[in-house]
């Protein structure tokens, strides 16, 4: 028996595109001699449809797409994911299921049992967990079919009280198939491989695993579908961050034949780079936009975002706006111009000095007798935000935000100013990682000017300003933030790790009081295991931290 794994990039609610794509790959699998083609979780509608499930027309479109795809399952069977209605009044209104279709008919329906409701997941909001499990018989084989999280209850700290495979194994299946929509983070691929391999070892079965690929707003799916033998060894690893079809012979797997070569492991920064490119591309293509605008300061953050956008969209679709203030240095303007020349993108210089002076004149009576402070700095940042939003409105550009995770964490940014944007490109990338990204982008030639990389970071909103005037050095700050955000270390634990207690108190206070800013920030592309946005939810008015 030959099994095809189809890892595809779906568009939530775009049933025409998704159906066409599923049928196209089904036909391709058929042409390559596959007996069964396997699509990813919720592949009919895209993962995750969230509150779109509440609309009856959405569910009707799911059913229509399914019937259209089933008509092409004549000489080939398929496994495909979608939501279905729960016909029982008690419980949630929907199930997350995998249909097994053979000879144009649904022969079996598997309901997802373990519903993740943590980090970026919120499945129990919508879905009722499946409670009965039965193997599928096909071509003389018994298939234990599960959906994503159903295989993840195997570690030392299980989150669920049951495990579907513990029931399915009693029927003596020949192999496991798991369909997934498993989001990317730069450390998740190794964890995913370990979990899946442990399932093979525990149940002594081979596993065919298919993952989605592409971005849905802030969540990126990296693909990397896998085939394991019953010893838990990886026999095949499909490409990351791109659509692909792999066809594998079950009999060859059973005798440990040589499968296609494994993909060489990439560095975290390389993976982050690819994820950000896919995230930008899909945000634009799926929302129907082509052109981006951003503020380009001559600093490293905006330079990175400009370079990523140019690579993702083409430099002709990127408009960089230089907005010098009276405090901007000549070298910052030169660095910005050097960058756009290296990239070949569009640029324009729009000074903000007169605009900020106009606000200061308007507020002169209100501010009489008061010394300039952060207020005047923020006015400059908001002048830039007004200019960028005006260009976005007038020309239909998508504004890209350039704040990094270190800044977002401690609130080092101005609401309605440099925090403007439709997407936070590097809001889940710490400043120290931004420097690594710059080196990676420059791996073949100088794109980011060297001076941009080596000069001390500065907002340039007052004379001789440097980030280090307000914040610890980024090497120290990022270590503390990562321990607190990603690794969930509290004040006491951070001090025990060796961080200065006064520094810990100061930084945690900044993180806490900046929550209201993050609540209003643009969606941020998720590349870490704990990103701001839907993956980290804390009350704005909490006092605990």
360 and 481 inside one domain = yes
Same domain, 256 and 278: no
Give the per-residue pLDDT at 256. 47
Is 447 among the annotated ligand-binding positions? no
The pLDDT value given to residue 257: 44
pLDDT tens, residue by residue, 155-178: 776 788 889 999 999 999 999 999
Give residues with Cβ within 8 angstroms of 377, minimum separation 6.
Answer: 414, 459, 461, 462
0.85 cut: is pTM over it? yes
pLDDT in tens, 52-89: 999 999 999 999 999 999 999 999 999 999 999 999 99
Residue 344 φ then ψ, to 5°: 85, 20
Q: Is 203 marked as a binding-site residue? A: no
Domain annotation covers residue 433: yes
Among 225, 241, 260, the domain-final residue is 260
Instruction: Answer whether the bond into residue 524 is a cis peptide, omega within 30°.
Output: no
Residue 503 pLDDT:
96
Query: Which residue bears the tokens 């806490």?
Result: 512
Same domain, 124 and 218: yes
Say yes or no: 428 and 498 in one domain.
Answer: yes
Query: For 201-224, how does the pLDDT look when each residue is reduced to its tens digit (9 = 90+)?
Result: 999 999 999 999 999 999 999 999
- 402 annotated to a ligand binding site: yes
Q: What single DSSP character describes residue 88? A: S
378 belongs to an annotated ligand binding site = yes
Do 210 and 68 share a structural domain? yes
Provide the percentage of residues in the chain whose pLDDT is more than 90: 88
Domain end marker among 260, 279, 297: 260
258 is in an annotated binding site: no
- If asked whether residues 256 and 276 sit together in one domain, one would say no
Q: Is 417 annotated as a binding residue?
A: no
Q: Residue 291 sits in which domain range?
A: 271-519
On whether residue 327 sits in a domain, the answer given is yes
Question: What CATH code is carried by the domain that includes residue 446?
Answer: 3.40.50.620
Residue 112 annotated as catalytic: yes
In whole angstroms, how large is the CA radius of gyration of the chain?
26
Going across the sheet that includes 36-38, the strands are 105-111, 94-102, 77-85, 36-38, 2-7, 244-249
* Within-domain flag for 532: no
325 annotated as ligand-binding? no
User: 156: domain CATH number?
Assistant: 3.60.110.10
Query: Is 148 tagged catalytic?
Result: yes
- Of 21, 30, 111, 112, the catalytic one is 112
DSSP, res 90: S
Helix (H) or strand (E) holding 318: strand 318-322
CA 94 to chain centre: 25
182 annotated as ligand-binding: yes
Residue numbers in the chain where pLDDT is lower than 50: 255-258
Residue 236 within any structural domain of the chain:
yes
Question: Is the same domain home to 278 and 412?
Answer: yes
Which two three-digit tokens encode residue 400? 């890209």
Residue 102 lies in a domain: yes
Beta-ladder partners of 96: 83
Q: Is 403 labeled as ligand-binding?
A: no
- Whether 517 has a binding-site annotation, put simply, is yes
> Based on the structure, what is the number of domains in the chain?
2
Which residue in 30, 41, 123, 200 is the catalytic one? Answer: 41
421 assigned to a ligand binding site: no
Q: Are residues 434 and 502 in the same domain?
A: yes
| 252 in the same domain as 381 | no
Q: Which of 480, 493, 295, 477 is nearest to 403 (CA)?
A: 295
| Residue 25 marked in a binding site | no
pLDDT at 264: 65
Is 162 in the same domain as 276?
no
Tokens coding 174: 């020949």
Q: In what order do the strands lie in the sheet with 318-322?
A: 346-349, 318-322, 292-295, 398-401, 423-424
Residue 542: inside a domain, yes or no? no
534 found inside a domain: no
Residue 526, in any domain of the structure: no
Catalytic residue, chosen from 45, 135, 148, 163, is 148
Query: Are 115 and 188 part of one and the same domain?
Result: yes
Give the model's pLDDT for residue 328: 73
317, 377: one domain: yes
């Amino acid at each position: 028996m030959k099994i095809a794994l189809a890892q595809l990039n779906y568009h939530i609610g775009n049933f025409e595109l998704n159906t066409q794509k599923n049928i196209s790959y089904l036909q391709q699998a058929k042409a390559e001699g596959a007996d069964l083609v396997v699509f990813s979780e919720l592949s009919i509608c895209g993962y995750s449809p969230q509150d779109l499930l509440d609309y009856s027309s959405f569910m009707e479109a799911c059913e229509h797409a399914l019937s259209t795809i089933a008509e092409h399952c004549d000489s080939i069977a398929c496994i495909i994911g979608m939501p279905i209605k729960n016909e029982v009044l008690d419980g949630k209104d929907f199930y997350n299921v995998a249909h097994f279709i053979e000879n144009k008919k649904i022969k079996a329906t598997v309901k997802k049992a373990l519903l993740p409701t943590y980090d970026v997941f919120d499945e129990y909001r919508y879905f009722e967990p499946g409670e009965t499990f039965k193997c599928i018989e096909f071509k003389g084989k018994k298939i234990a079919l599960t959906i994503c999280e159903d295989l993840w209850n195997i570690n030392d700290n299980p989150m669920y009280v049951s495990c579907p495979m513990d029931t399915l194994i009693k029927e003596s299946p020949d192999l496991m198939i798991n369909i997934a929509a498993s989001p990317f983070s730069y450390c998740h691929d190794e964890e995913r491989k370990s979990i899946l391999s442990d399932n093979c070892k525990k149940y002594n079965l081979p596993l065919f695993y298919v993952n989605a690929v592409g971005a849905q707003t802030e969540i990126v799916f990296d693909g990397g579908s896998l085939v394991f033998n019953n010893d838990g060894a990886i026999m095949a690893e499909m490409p990351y961050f791109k659509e692909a079809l792999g066809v594998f012979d079950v009999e060859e797997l059973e005798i440990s034949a040589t499968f296609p070569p494994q993909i060489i492991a990439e560095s975290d920064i390389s993976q982050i780079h690819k994820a950000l490119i896919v995230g930008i591309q899909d945000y634009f293509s799926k929302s129907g936009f082509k052109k981006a605008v951003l503020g380009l300061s001559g600093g490293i953050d905006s330079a990175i975002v400009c370079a990523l956008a140019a690579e993702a969209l083409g430099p002709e679709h990127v408009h960089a706006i230089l907005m010098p203030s009276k405090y901007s240095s000549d070298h910052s303007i030169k660095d910005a111009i050097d960058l756009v020349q290296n990239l070949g993108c569009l640029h324009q210089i729009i000074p903000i000095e007169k605009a900020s002076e106009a606000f200061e004149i308007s507020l002169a009576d209100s501010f009489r007798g008061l010394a300039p402070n952060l207020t005047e700095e923020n006015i400059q940042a908001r002048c830039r935000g007004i200019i960028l939003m005006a260009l976005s409105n007038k020309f239909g550009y998508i504004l890209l935000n350039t704040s990094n995770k270190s800044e977002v964490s401690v609130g080092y940014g101005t609401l309605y100013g440099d925090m403007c944007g439709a997407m936070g490109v590097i809001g889940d990338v710490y400043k120290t990682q931004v420097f690594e990204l710059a080196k990676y982008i420059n791996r073949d030639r100088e794109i980011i000017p060297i001076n941009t990389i080596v000069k001390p970071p500065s907002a340039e909103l007052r004379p001789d300003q440097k980030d280090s005037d307000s914040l610890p050095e980024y090497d120290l700050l990022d270590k503390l933030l990562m321990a607190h955000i990603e690794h969930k270390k509290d004040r006491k634990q951070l001090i025990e790790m060796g961080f200065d207690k006064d520094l810990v108190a100061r930084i945690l206070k900044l993180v806490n009081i900046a929550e209201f800013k993050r609540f209003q920030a643009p969606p941020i592309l998720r590349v870490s295991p704990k990103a701001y946005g839907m993956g980290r939810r804390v009350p704005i008015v909490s006092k605990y931290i």
